[in-house]
């Protein structure tokens, strides 16, 4: 069993053990979550990611580079630039400043080409909980199917999708996968890099997710993404 799978298995055990007796809907209030937005999170670059650095008025000096293990890219004119966990816009601003010593119009843009860590996490009442590769456009239903499908004990109408915003803050959405299977494909949610799907056994009551300790630290992800669902949470549909 790989380290990633062991970590996720431990997390799912904690999730399952944290679920207690069902609560009435009015008792389930959100705490510490942002409003759900179907935006594409502007995640920071990680080692192995590929990106284009384009100089608008000096295209002959544009570069296609891969982030090195130490989080740097190396450009022909200005040398090394630290890009680890930085967004394209943030990097482009630094490049404009540094290229200003070389060009009269140092307009630069940064375009992600390929992410090395296109992964999601699937846990709870599925056949094969673990880390999965996000190889193409995939929704919550397909993510569950890639994990072997639901167990008989799964609560298919309350599948939890966890994601962080562009600012690194947590969002939660409850997805009715049963309704999707019955013909409501438009209600499926496209998955993004580092999304986490959790399939509960019964009504959601108390779930404590220590992602910073159990997943992000161990998988060398730099984002601090920890959050708690408790008796004062209101889930978003």
DSSP 100-128: TTT-SS--EEEEEEE-S--EEEEEESBSS
pLDDT of residue 203: 55
For domain 50-114, give the CATH superfamily.
wza like domain (3.30.1950.10)
Phi-psi region of 165 (alpha: psi -120 to 50; beta: other; left: phi over 0): beta
Question: What pLDDT shows up at residue 31?
Answer: 61
Q: 204-220 pLDDT, tens per residue?
A: 443 444 344 444 444 44
The ranges assigned to domains in the chain are: 3-41+117-229, 50-114
Per-residue tens of pLDDT for the chain, all 237 residues: 454 545 455 445 444 444 433 433 433 435 667 788 876 666 789 899 999 999 999 999 999 999 999 999 999 899 999 999 898 999 999 999 999 999 999 999 999 998 887 889 999 999 999 999 887 778 999 999 999 999 988 999 999 999 888 777 888 899 999 999 998 888 899 998 889 999 988 654 434 443 444 444 444 444 444 333 333 333 333
Q: Give the model's pLDDT for residue 41.
A: 64
Q: Specify the pLDDT at position 202.
A: 63
- Domain 3-41+117-229 CATH class label: alpha beta
99 Cβ contact list (under 8 Å, min separation 6): 55, 77, 78, 106, 108
């Amino acid at each position: 069993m790989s380290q990633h799978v062991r970590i996720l298995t431990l997390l799912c055990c904690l999730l399952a053990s944290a679920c207690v007796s069902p609560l009435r809907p009015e008792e389930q209030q959100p705490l510490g979550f942002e409003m759900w937005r179907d935006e594409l999170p502007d995640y920071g670059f990680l080692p192995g990611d590929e990106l284009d650095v384009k100089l608008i008025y000096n295209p002959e000096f544009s570069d296609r580079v891969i982030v090195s293990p130490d989080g740097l890219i190396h450009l022909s004119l200005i040398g090394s630039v630290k890009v680890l966990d930085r967004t394209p816009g943030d990097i482009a601003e630094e490049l404009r400043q540094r290229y200003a010593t070389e060009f009269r119009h140092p307009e630069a843009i940064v375009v992600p080409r390929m992410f090395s860590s296109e992964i999601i996490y699937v846990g709870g009442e599925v056949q094969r909980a673990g880390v999965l590769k996000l190889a193409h456009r995939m929704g919550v239903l397909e993510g569950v199917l890639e994990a072997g499908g639901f167990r008989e004990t799964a609560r298919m109408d309350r599948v939890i999708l966890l994601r962080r915003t562009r600012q690194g803050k947590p969002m939660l959405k409850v997805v009715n996968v049963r309704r999707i299977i019955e013909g409501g494909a438009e209600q499926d949610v496209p998955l993004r890099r580092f999304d986490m799907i959790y399939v509960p056994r019964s009504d959601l009551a108390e779930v404590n997710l220590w992602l910073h300790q159990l997943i992000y630290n161990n998988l060398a992800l730099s984002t601090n993404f920890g959050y708690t669902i408790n008796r004062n949470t209101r889930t978003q549909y």
